[in-house]
A and B are shown apart, each in its own frame.
Chain A
Amino acid sequence: MKRCLRNGSGVNEDRISDLPEALLLQILSLLPVKDVVSTSVLSKPWRSLWKLVPKLNFDYENFQSEHETYSEIVCKLLLSNKAPVLESLHLDFKVGKCRAVDVGMWIGIAYARHVRDLALHVISEKRSFTFPTSLYNCETLESLTLTSWVLVDVPSQVCLKSLRTLRLDYVDYKDDETFINLLSGCPNLENLVLYQELPDMETCTIAVPSLQRLTVVDANDAQGHGGYVINAPSLKYLKIYGFKALEFCLIENAPELVEATIMNVSKIINEKLLESLTSVKRLSLALSPLEIKFPTGSIFYQLVSLELYTDKAEWWNLLVLMLDSSPILQVLKLIGKWSGENNHLAIRNWDQPKNVPGCLLFHLETFMWKGCTKLGEDEKEVVKYILRNSNRLKRATFSRIIYEENNSQDMVENLEMVEELESVVRASNSCQLLFECNLYTLRR
Chain B
Amino acid sequence: MSEGDLAVMKPETMKSYIWLQTADGSIQQVEQEVAMFCPMICQEVIQKGVGSSKNHAISLPQRVNPAMFSLILDYCRFHQLPGRSNKERKTYDERFIRMDTKRLCELTSAADSLQLKPLVDLTSRALARIIEGKTPEEIREIFHLPDDLTEEEKLEPLKNTMDDPRIRLLNRLYAKKRKELKERERLKNVEVEEHVDERSVDDLLSFINGRDPKVVKMSKGKKKKKKKKDQKIVSSNDIHDKESHDLYSKQQCVEETGSSMREVPNLPSAEDDISTPKAGSEDEDIDDEIDPAMRELLDREVEDFAQRLNSNWVRSLGKERRPVHFSINGNGTTRRHTGQSP
Chain B 221-241 near chain A by CB (<8 Å), digits 1 or 0: 110101111010110000000
B205 within 8 A of A: yes
Contacts of B124 in A (CB 8 A): 23, 26-27, 30
Residue A96, interface by CB 8 Å: yes
Whether a CB of chain A sits under 8 angstroms from the CB of B340 is yes
B112:A17 contact, CB within 8 angstroms: no
Interface size on A, residues (CB 8 A): 74
**Would you call A31 an interface residue if the criterion is a C-beta within 8 Å of the partner chain's C-beta atoms?**
yes
**Given A23-B120, A69-B253, A128-B216: A79 and B131 interface contact (C-beta under 8 Å):** no
- Are B145's CB and A43's CB within 8 A? yes
Name the distance in Å between A148's Cβ and chain B's nearest Cβ.
6
Is A112 in contact with B293, judged by CB distance below 8 angstroms?
yes
| A-side contacts of B131, CB under 8 Å | 27, 31, 35, 39
Asked if B136 contacts A41 (CB within 8 A), the reply is yes
- The answer to whether B146 touches A14, judged by C-beta atoms less than 8 angstroms apart, is yes
Cross-chain contact of B255 among A12, A18, A66, A170 (Cβ < 8 A): A66
Stretch at the interface among A98-106, A206-214, A258-266: A98-106
Instruction: Please tell me if the beta carbons of A47 and B156 are within 8 angstroms of each other in the complex.
Output: yes
Contact with A along B87-130 (1 / 0, CB 8 A): 00000000000000110011011001000000010001101100
B204 to nearest A CB, angstroms? Answer: 9
Smallest CB-CB separation from B160: which chain A residue? A80
- Residue numbers in A under 8 Å from B226 (CB-CB): 149
In Å, the complex CA distance between A68 and B146 comes to 31
- Decide if B342 touches A200 in the complex (CB within 8 Å): no
Q: How far is the CA of A16 from the CA of B144 in the complex (A)?
A: 9
Within the complex, the shortest CB–CB distance from A342 to chain B, in Å, comes to 25
Q: Known contacts A67-B340, A105-B301; is A44 also within 8 Å of B148 by CB?
A: yes
Q: Tell me the chain B residues, 152-209 only, with Cβ under 8 Å from chain A.
A: 153-154, 156-157, 160-161, 164, 166-167, 170, 174, 177, 205-206, 208-209
**Is A182 interfacial (CB-CB < 8 Å)?**
no
- Cβ contact of A67, chosen from B135, B259, B301, cutoff 8 A: B259
Interface: A376 (CB within 8 A): no
Q: How large is the interface on B (under 10, 10 to 19, 20 to 34, 35 or more residues)?
A: 35 or more
Is B264 an interface residue when CB atoms closer than 8 A count as contact? no
Q: Does A130 contact B (CB under 8 A)?
A: yes
Contact B170 A79, beta carbon cutoff 8 Å: yes
Contact with B along A61-99 (1 / 0, CB 8 A): 000011111001001100110000000000000111101
Q: Which of A40, A69, A101 contacts B157 (CB 8 A)?
A: A40
B297 CB-CB contact with A under 8 Å: yes
- Establish whether residues A80 and B255, one from each chain, have CB atoms under 8 Å apart when the complex forms: no
Q: Complex Cα distance A35/B204, Å?
A: 36
A125 touches B248 (CB 8 A): yes
A12–chain B nearest beta-carbon distance, Å: 7
Q: Contacts of A68 on B, CB cut-off 8 Å?
A: 255, 259, 340-342
- The answer to whether B244 and A13 have CB atoms under 8 Å apart is no
Taking a contact as CB atoms closer than 8 A, the residue among B105, B224, B340 that contacts A19 in the complex is B105
Residue A379 interfacial (CB < 8 Å) = no
Pick from B149, B217, B220: contact of A47, CB under 8 Å: B149
Rounded to whole angstroms, the CA-CA distance of A112 and B296 in the bound complex is: 11
Say yes or no: A101 contacts B208, CB within 8 Å.
yes
Of all chain A residues, which has the CB nearest B252? Answer: A96
Chain B residues with Cβ below 8 Å from A18 are 105, 109
Nearest CB in chain B: distance from A56 CB, A: 14
* A30 touching B144 in the complex, CB below 8 Å, given contacts A19-B109, A79-B170, A200-B221: no
B52 interface contact, C-beta 8 A: no
How far, in angstroms, from A131 to B157 measured CA to CA in the complex?
Answer: 31
Q: Which residue of A lies closest to B103 (CB)?
A: A15
Question: CB distance B125 to A112 under 8 Å?
Answer: no
| A20 CB-CB contact with B under 8 Å | yes
Assuming A31-B132, A44-B148, A105-B301, is B205 touching A100 (CB within 8 A)? yes
Is there a chain B Cβ closer than 8 Å to A199's Cβ? yes
Q: Given A67-B259, A128-B216, do A16 and B136 touch, yes or no (CB 8 Å)? A: no
CB of B4 closer than 8 Å to a CB of A: no
Q: Does A126 belong to the interface (CB within 8 Å)?
A: yes
In this complex, the member of B131, B133, B174 whose beta carbon has the largest number of chain A beta carbons within 10 angstroms is B131
Are the CB atoms of A76 and B125 closer together than 8 Å?
no
A174 and B105 within 8 A (CB): no
User: Which interface residue of B108, B209, B342 has the most chain A CB atoms within 10 A?
Assistant: B209
Which residues of chain A are within 8 angstroms of B211 by Cβ–Cβ distance? 130, 153
Given A27-B128, A31-B131, A124-B248, residue A132 in contact with residue B208 (CB < 8 A): yes
Please state if B248 and A96 are interface contacts (CB–CB under 8 Å): yes
Other-chain residue from B101, B161, B247, B250 in contact with A128 (beta carbon distance below 8 A): B247
Report the minimum CB–CB distance from B53 to chain A (whole Å).
30
Q: Is B140 an interface residue (CB 8 A)?
A: yes
Tell me whether A14 and B143 are in contact in the complex, defined as CB-CB below 8 angstroms, given that A72-B174, A96-B248, A97-B251 are known contacts: yes
Are B128 and A30 in touch, CB under 8 angstroms? yes
Indicate which residue in A69, A80, A97 contacts B161 across the interface (CB closer than 8 Å). A80
Bound state CA distance, A116 and B245, in angstroms?
Answer: 31
Within 8 A of A (CB), among B239-272: 243-245, 247-253, 255-256, 258-259
CB pair A76 B161 closer than 8 Å: yes
Chain B residues closer than 8 Å to A16, beta-carbon distance: 101, 105, 127, 143, 145
Nearest first, the 10 closest Cβ-Cβ pairs linking A and B are A15-B105, A30-B128, A13-B144, A200-B221, A96-B251, A172-B219, A43-B145, A41-B154, A40-B157, A96-B248
- List 18 additional A-B contacts (Cβ < 8 Å) besides A12-B144, A112-B297, A123-B229: A15-B105, A16-B105, A30-B132, A31-B131, A43-B145, A44-B149, A65-B255, A96-B234, A97-B234, A97-B251, A99-B205, A100-B209, A105-B301, A108-B298, A130-B209, A170-B227, A199-B219, A199-B221
Interchain Cβ contacts under 8 Å between A and B, 29 examples: A16-B105, A16-B143, A18-B105, A20-B109, A23-B109, A26-B120, A30-B125, A31-B131, A32-B132, A37-B157, A39-B139, A40-B157, A50-B157, A67-B342, A69-B253, A69-B255, A101-B208, A112-B294, A123-B229, A124-B231, A128-B216, A128-B218, A133-B210, A148-B228, A153-B211, A170-B227, A197-B224, A199-B220, A200-B221
Q: Which residues of B contact A (CB under 8 A)?
A: 101-102, 105-106, 108-109, 112, 120, 124-125, 127-128, 131-136, 139-140, 143-149, 153-154, 156-157, 160-161, 164, 166-167, 170, 174, 177, 205-206, 208-211, 216-222, 224, 226-229, 231, 233-234, 243-245, 247-253, 255-256, 258-259, 293-294, 297-298, 301, 305, 340-342
